[in-house]
Amino acid sequence: MSESKSLFSSDFAPGALSPDRPKLLVVDDQPVNIQVLYQVFSESCDVFMATSGKQALEVCRQKNPDLILLDVVMPDMDGIEVCKALKSAPETRDIPVIFVTSQDSPEEETLGLEVGAVDFITKPVNPAVVKARVKTHLMLKIQTDALRELASVDGLTGIPNRRRFDERLQTEWRACRRTELPLSLIMIDVDHFKKYNDHYGHLEGDACLKMVAHALRGDQWRARDIASRYGGEEFVCLMPETSLEDALTKAEAIRERVFALAVPHATSQNADRVTISVGVACTIPGEGEPDSLLSVADEQLYKAKEGGRNRVEGIFV
């Protein structure tokens, strides 16, 4: 095994960062400098390249790299501006940036750290040094991502919590606004859950919520979809680039899945088992705020309850 391959293979569990290997983005307006770093990392990482600041931002949106090696001095948009743009966007702010530059003054390094870079490497790069720096910051990213993931999971059900959902709603709203594609949101409420708790007790109530979450988790979701516990007996699902028709189909499948669990509910007023009511809202994001989609989904959920519960209602706005 070569030195570059062994650099990462023993340290990174599959899927810890990317599904197979860490993804590095190398940004430099001089192709020869990109080639040098490509030779250093190509055997151990998936290396993406950009020769301008604007191109770098676009690659970040498309590839979501695990770490960026960024030149400081570039025409049009320099590395400082690129780093500021990365750190101002929720979808890219957590990507570690290492500046790679021929300028090694204390002032330049201080500025780089102030705008959010994690390290500074001077040109010409020493392969052993740049490997060690990248390895260190990728390991730190794994640890940080693990802690962030832990803070984003609902302790009872094991699915993403409201905090994680709120973050994703902001991100996907911007993405769908940029692409002018629909964003769908499904809001779910367990019918007569207070009566269930009062009759069976809170431990059984918790078990019921876990079963509903399991029904959500067991459904087929795409990579960008997210199903979360929103609070209490409410759950919410976000489906980017999904039409109202497809979202309604998914919502009905979820309702049927929960119904098929056949969890007894003796005090329900609409069925002999635990059921859910579902509200669906779909829009192509524009000038409004993401919370507006939540409000519409909540209105549709109320409509489903008023219509007899254990049903799905939806609308395009």
Q: Which of 265, 155, 273 is nearest to 213 (CA)?
A: 155
C-alpha to C-alpha distance for 170 and 177, rounded to whole angstroms: 11
CA–CA gap between residue 303 and residue 172 (Å, rounded): 26
Annotation marks residue 245 as catalytic = no
At 296, list the tokens. Answer: 């519409």
DSSP string across 230-263? EETTEEEEEEET--HHHHHHHHHHHHHHHHHH--
The amino acid occupying position 299 is E
Residues forming a β-bridge with 278: 188, 312
Distance CA 230, CA 59 (A): 32
- Beta-sheet pairing, 67-71 with 276-283: unpaired
Of the residues 233, 256, 287, 299, which is catalytic?
233
| Positions marked active-site | 233
